[in-house]
Amino acid sequence: MSTSNNSRRSLLLADRTLLKKVFSSDETTVDLFYKNQACFSTVVIRNGPKEIGTVVKSLDTCRLPWLEEEHLGSGSYGDVYKVVVAKGHFVVKGYANPEPEALARKDYKVKSAINFREEAETMRKILQSTSKHDNILESIGTLEIGSNPLRFSLFMELAIDNLENYLMVKDPEPKLDADARIRSLKSAWGLADGLHFLHTQMKTPDMQKMVCYHMDLKPSNILIFKDTRQGSHEEDLIWKVSDFGMSRVKMPHNSTSPNVGERDIDFNTMFNKNTHSDTMSGTQGRVGIGTYLPSEALSPERSMNQKSDVWSLGCIISVLFTHLEEGAEGIKQYHESRRRENGNTEEFFKETYLGYKVSSAVKQCHRKLIAKANSRNPLEKDPVSFMLGFLENRVFQLDQRDRCDAKTVADRLKETVERYKGTAVPEKSAEQLKSKRHLLKKFTSLSEMMKGSKSQDGVQHWSLGIPTPVSLKGCDTSLDGSIIYWSDSWLFLFTSASTMDVKKSVLQPIGKYKLEDGNGFWTAAKISRRYVVATTTGGDSSKCFIFRIQGGQAATPSFEETPSIIRLSNPVQKLDLVENSNIVFWVSEDEHDNSRSILFRARVSQPLLLSSETRPVSQHEDAFLMDEYRFLLKWPVSEVIHLCMKTPSEGYLVIRPKNQSHTVSVKSVSLAQLGPGNVDQPRFGSFTFTPEGPSGHTSSLFTTSAHFHNKPGVVVVAHEKQMFEIGFSGHRDTARDPVLNIIDSPGSAVGRP
């Protein structure tokens, strides 16, 4: 039924006068209906050129349209939730959602209702700006609730993740091939172009020019989405600036007299600042400013402007290059090096008795990244030094007047991408690349199954028959030699049947499975003789996908069938599958205390047969997880860097060292004596050692680990070339001295699983 705004409001809530007419003055019925009509009056979120936002006077008189609500995190000025809006209750330009729709909602607490009313119209003009850019997150609705304090909410498209969590948790591995680096740099290029748009090309609905300064640009405020634009690759990501309309804006005083002058509005002053935030220590600087802000943020004067955002952008790009080369571990070390120099703060500048200067740790990090790129592939030195040198000379300038603008940064990133496209890998260095697309992980247990080409060091090398644009993130092997590789979107399965083309030394995947759009990214995959278990993050929830390998080896698997899918309550950070069993383990954050994590153990029941190609999907019965146990770990999820379970009751953890010490801490885990309680405490054994890095080494400390199958203990690989055997005895706090075996061939670095 088509109704005007006024007639729509008159339907409900009804006052007593109207109800007396409807119910013929039956006071009892009038009272009952009046008190309970809120159950039938559900708020509709509306967005469009003529909409001014949804306003609710009190939640006593209506109900909100969420079918689900999940807290995602807290920022400086608001709390972010994922909400699923009921069918028909999200209307955009007159069209209602035909199905329940997941959105992001950010809630702000208003300081003063009077001041908010004065600026609310201006703020909505900005949020409804006719100027659009692919890298600027668009507001798709507002909600104002007249509570005390007054609450204001913004609705936005639901992101896969924010950049900080993506780099540090969801995708912590380095990007050692050019294709993956190009994709990341293209995302950064788009971000810089979006920031330039924010600074110079924003207009209100009445076509008044305005300038937006973000003033708090950092990885946690950059949201990640699948790039679905025409011509994009399936693994391309688009980075979007969020919270732009809630920062500082410069615009004319009014639309009728545009030349009267400009006014500077800081919308954040209207909202109460959060006393708590999910911002990690890596984004927290000294009191009052953040890690990614420039020195002018410390000035008592309002001296921040567009050039302040450019400084922040440069910091993000510097961190991105660190991640490309060294992964999340490198970012932590980069933060720590600035902290040591600055005196326990992590800004990219330091204070001296003569004023401020750029932290020397920045240039030291850049020199290291350039040297690593040159060592891996001399052709990569050019694009890396081209961009990092530009940051030092044109962006990291303490005087704003010497800083370039965002467009110049975007142009430089564009040229860097073009230069990377010319970094063809020399034939000599191809075998030395650690990229998992070019080299099969070199486990000696695979050599008996596969007869590949041998290099001079006796290690067998195989090329993977995977399309070039696909950037692999990791792999896992089973005892019988089957291998599962994964990228953001794909799973690739290799078995003994993959070795048929021995003359070309190429392994062809005999099964592959692609995530559908909207299901997020693969975060981990594990394979045993019987199962493939893989987990995702992003999309509408975290999921576990389960396949069964028929007969121990899937000679002709069919990944095209619908897999068994289980929704998980929390995102999976580490995953493992016990060989010769149906037991799966995973580590997730403790939702009640983020200083701890939870080790989950469950039993897989009735999974789908991968090779059952004739079985109709309609007869498919989903797998499910049974007998779930929870075991409390005393480390936050970010410190659990490896999970290696030998049996359903024993295994090993590798814990990130505290204070960036150069040690490896291995914990044995015993679950044997624990009963079926709600949350149990495992027993731990512990062994910590300090591996000596090879001369001139620049590799990360911990590489990978694996347990022995015929005795207690674990093998740890450090610095990519050193192998340590740690023998635990009865899971007590004892261990034999590690037996060191250094693989000294430069071409024999061990890849991460």
Q: What is the sign, positive or negative, of the torsion defined by CA atoms of 693, 696, 700, 703?
A: negative
Q: How far is CA 684 from the centre of its chain?
A: 30
Q: Are residues 619 and 680 in contact, defined by beta-carbon separation less than 8 angstroms?
A: no
Q: Are residues 680 and 673 in contact, defined by beta-carbon separation less than 8 angstroms?
A: no
Q: Are residues 63 and 13 in contact, defined by beta-carbon separation less than 8 angstroms?
A: no
Residue with tokens 């089957």: 482
Number of Cβ within a 10 Å radius of residue 114: 8
Give the Cα separation of 77 and 216 in Å (integer). Answer: 11
Edge-first strand order for the sheet with 248-252 is: 202-203, 209-213, 248-252, 262-266
* Beta pairing class for 202-203 and 209-213: antiparallel
Residue 93 labelled as part of a binding site: yes
**Mind spelling out the 3-state secondary structure of 292-332?**
CCCHHHHCCCCCCCHHHHHHHHHHHHHHHHHHHHHHHHHHH
* Beta pairing class for 483-486 and 490-494: antiparallel
Measured CA to CA in angstroms, residue 509 lies from 22, 132, 499, 557, 559 at distances of: 71, 42, 10, 10, 11
Measured CA to CA in angstroms, residue 679 lies from 187, 570, 590, 601, 638 at distances of: 42, 15, 11, 11, 20
Give the Cα separation of 642 and 649 in Å (integer). Answer: 17
Q: Are residues 150 and 113 in contact, defined by beta-carbon separation less than 8 angstroms?
A: yes
- Token code pair at residue 105: 């909602």
Residue stretches of the annotated binding site for ATP:
93
Residue stretches of the annotated binding site:
93
